[in-house]
Amino acid sequence: MTAFEPPERFNIAEHFLDARVCEGAGEREALRLDAGSWSYREVQALADRAGRALARLGVRPGERVLIALPDGPEFVAALFGTLKIGAVVVMVNPDLRPESLAALYDYTWASRAVVGGAALAAFAEARERAEWKPELLVVGDADGSGSWPRWEEDVEGGGEAAALEVLRTHRDDAAIWLFSGGTTGAPKGVVQPHASFANTTELYAKAALGYSAGDVTMSVPKLFFGYATGSNLLFPFSVGAAAVLFPEHPTPEVVFEKIRRHRPTILVNVPKMVAAMVAHPEAASQDLSSLRFATSAGEALPAPLYQRWKETFGVELLDGLGTAEMWHIFVSNLPGAVRPGTLGRVVPGFEIRVCDEDGRELPDGEVGRMWVRGGSRALGYWRDAAKTAEAFRGEWFVGGDLVRRDPDGYFHYCGRGDDVLKVGGKWVAPQEVESFLAKHPAVAECAVVGVENAAGLTEPWAFVVPTGGGATAGYDLAARLQRHCLDHLDPHKHPRRVVLLGEMPRTHLGKVDRGALRRRA
């Protein structure tokens, strides 16, 4: 299947939202919440009012708008309203601290931030810290909102009934910024054009996974994470399906309750929650029979964890890999063709090569850097020409992920190039040690990183969250896990220390923060 080619004048607000109303699906359920549902026509009307309000408040085409809201109709309306007036969406974790927000202000030069009332104090403090000071639009009740415009007055009270005319942006115009999801260092702003979002939707969501109008999707990660923006908003909207949204922090109890209440057919998941759900004391009594399948991304899914999920819930779990630079998933296990412990095969319409450091393609079975191309490639990194030139080479995106392809075309994740360790003159892939440790019944989650010893040499250390949580399992468990590795792995691969944790540190996208683990060593 070839890449999807949208028309030259193309705006994804029109493609994903307005088109459903135009084709007669305006009364279909678009959003499902605990408090009720929203039709496509109702979402369109709110998005139109949001776009008018933003334009009235001075937002111009091409300017950035930060959206920092909990999952709900306001997030969806702010996103589509911003796109409709030709502005650019920058999705932000609403729980960021003021110092991180201030850095984000100065980096993005956003003209306005749409923020929830609960987070207003942090966003206001960030304005005091930052050189660049975006104006705010406040959603919901908040102390100290002062003279800031209020969503309830400027958007919901806008009163205009006529449809908002969508700006006829170019398919290559910037639409949404994502942030690179690396496990160390500051995230980079990845500028994605309108065309990317339509391309992956056609190739992955529709053709590969078979999203249809009868589906109800639900996501563990929140909408500000590009994986969820696609899987739980754009993908269902592309076929007239419904998306379940909830603002609560996802815990196994919350996820189980939402599944009972809303009966989704597709669950968008991540390995951390997969592990938490199967470890829950009431896991065996949960009814997940409404699900056609669940997906997993963000981090590689160990084969033992896949098996525990399948045995516990009987639901197919599809692991895959995507990057912000290619927007979403481009290699995935698919229904009826799952090989546990792999990333699956390339999604038709994309192309992947495994190459050495000089760009020469490697044969099957050898580990190399992943090169990928397809119609979802980003325009580049914001304000970073050097890294853009390094990563975007012609039609290809060359990231830091190391993979190998087996003779059947399945890709195996081998870590990131900056995570691979050289120990005693030999290479160690942390993913291999992590996958081995994950099979141990006492291990709920683990990560292996390189730590310099007193002699300046690199040693592998394993950080482990024991089954049941808590870091109180004691020296005995750490010693037993270390001996377990010594007995079954090559000597240079065994962790020189096993550190027990109550929980893993996480990046802004919920991935294990390996930099924080190294600092903790």
Q: Where are the domains of the chain?
A: 12-192, 195-416, 421-520
DSSP, collapsed to helix, strand or coil, labels residue 177 as: strand
List the beta strands (DSSP E) in 288-332: 293-296, 317-322, 329-332
Q: What are the C-alpha distances in Å from 390 to residues 377, 380, 420?
A: 14, 10, 19
The angle formed by the CA atoms of residues 434, 220 and 292, to the nearest 5 degrees, is 95
Residue 299 clears pLDDT 90, i.e. is over it: no
Q: CA–CA separation, 368 vs 152, rounded Å?
A: 52
Residues 391/377, Cβ–Cβ less than 8 Å:
no
Joined together, the tokens standing for residue 144 give: 């100290």
Predicted confidence (pLDDT) per residue in 373-430, tens digit: 999 999 999 999 999 999 999 999 998 888 999 999 999 988 777 677 767 656 687 8
Structure tokens that stand for 422 in this block: 């050289």
CB atoms within 10 A of CB 26: 18
3-state DSSP assignment of residue 342 = coil
Tell me the pLDDT band of 161, cut-offs 50, 70 and 90. Answer: low
| Statement: residue 469 has pLDDT above 80 | no
Residues 204-249: pLDDT tens digits?
999 999 999 999 999 999 999 999 999 999 999 999 999 999 999 9
CA distance 94 to 80: 18
Confidence of residue 181 (pLDDT cuts 50, 70, 90): low
Model pLDDT for residues 91-133, shown as the tens digit of each residue? 999 999 999 999 999 999 999 999 999 999 999 999 999 999 9
Measured between alpha carbons, how far is 141 from 121 in angstroms, rounded to an integer?
12
Instruction: Please indicate whether the domains covering 195-416 and 421-520 agree at the CATH topology level.
Output: no
State the pairing for strand pair 216-219/266-269: parallel
Mean per-residue pLDDT, 290-309: 93
Contact 300, 340 (CB under 8 A): no
Q: What is the mean pLDDT of the chain?
A: 92
| Helix or strand (DSSP H, E) at 154 | helix 151-154
CB–CB of 84/13 below 8 Å?
yes
If pLDDT is split at 50, 70 and 90, which confidence band does 173 have?
Answer: very high
- DSSP codes joined into one string, 185-212: S---EEEEEHHHHHHHIIIIIIIIS---
Dist CA 276 CA 209 (whole Å): 25
Dist. CA 299–CA 511, nearest whole Å:
7
pLDDT tens per residue across span 418-466: 677 767 656 687 888 998 898 899 998 999 998 888 766 788 999 999 9
Q: Which two tokens stand for residue 272?
A: 């951390």
269 vs 221, 260, 347, 437, 515, CA distance in Å? Answer: 7, 16, 19, 22, 24
Detail the DSSP E strand segments found in 180-287: 189-193, 216-219, 242-244, 266-269
**Residue for token digits 């999920």?**
309
For residue 164, pLDDT beyond 60 = yes
CA-CA distance, 91 to 197, in Å (whole number)? Answer: 15
3-state secondary structure of 102: helix
- Which conformational region is residue 327 in: left (phi greater than 0), alpha (psi within -120 to 50 degrees), or beta? left
| Phi, psi (deg, nearest 5) at residue 200 | -65, -35
pLDDT of residue 488: 87
- Of the two residues 383 and 160, the one the predictor is more confident about is 383
Nearest to 112, CA basis, from 87, 129, 131, 94: 87
Task: State the average pLDDT over residues 499-504.
Answer: 92
- Domain 195-416 part of CATH 3.40.50.12780: yes
**In angstroms, rounded to a whole number, what is the distance separating the alpha carbons of residues 140 and 150?**
8
Q: Per-residue pLDDT averaged across 356-366, rounded? A: 93
Q: Predicted confidence band at 12 (pLDDT cuts at 50, 70, 90)?
A: very high
With vertex at residue 352, the alpha carbon angle to CA 348 and CA 355, rounded to the nearest 5 degrees, is 170
**What is the residue whose two structure tokens read 């996802």?**
250
CA–CA separation, 319 and 342 (whole Å): 7
Q: Identify the CATH assignment for 12-192 out of 3.40.50.980, 3.40.50.720, 3.40.50.880, 1.10.4080.10.
A: 3.40.50.980
Length of the chain: 521
If one counts every other C-beta atom within 10 angstroms of the C-beta of residue 272, the result is: 23
Residues 6+ apart with CB under 8 A from 289: 314
DSSP state of 456: S
Q: Specify the pLDDT at position 2.
A: 74
Q: Within 13 Å, how many C-alpha atoms sit on residue 457's CB side?
A: 8
Which pTM does this prediction carry?
A: 0.85
How many Cβ atoms from other residues are within 10 Å of residue 290's Cβ?
A: 16
DSSP state, residue 250: P
Neighbours of 521 (CB within 10 A): 14
CA distance linking residue 293 with residue 274, whole number of Å? 13
Q: Whole-angstrom distance between the N-terminal and C-terminal Cα of the chain? A: 48
Q: Let me know if 181 is exposed, middle or buried by CB neighbors in 10 A (0-12, 13-18, 19+).
A: buried
Dist. CA 498–CA 459, nearest whole Å:
11
The helix/strand/coil state of 32 is strand
> pLDDT at position 183, please?
43
Return the CATH number of 421-520, one of 3.30.300.30, 3.30.390.10, 3.10.20.30, 3.30.70.1560.
3.30.300.30
Measure CA 401 to chain center.
16
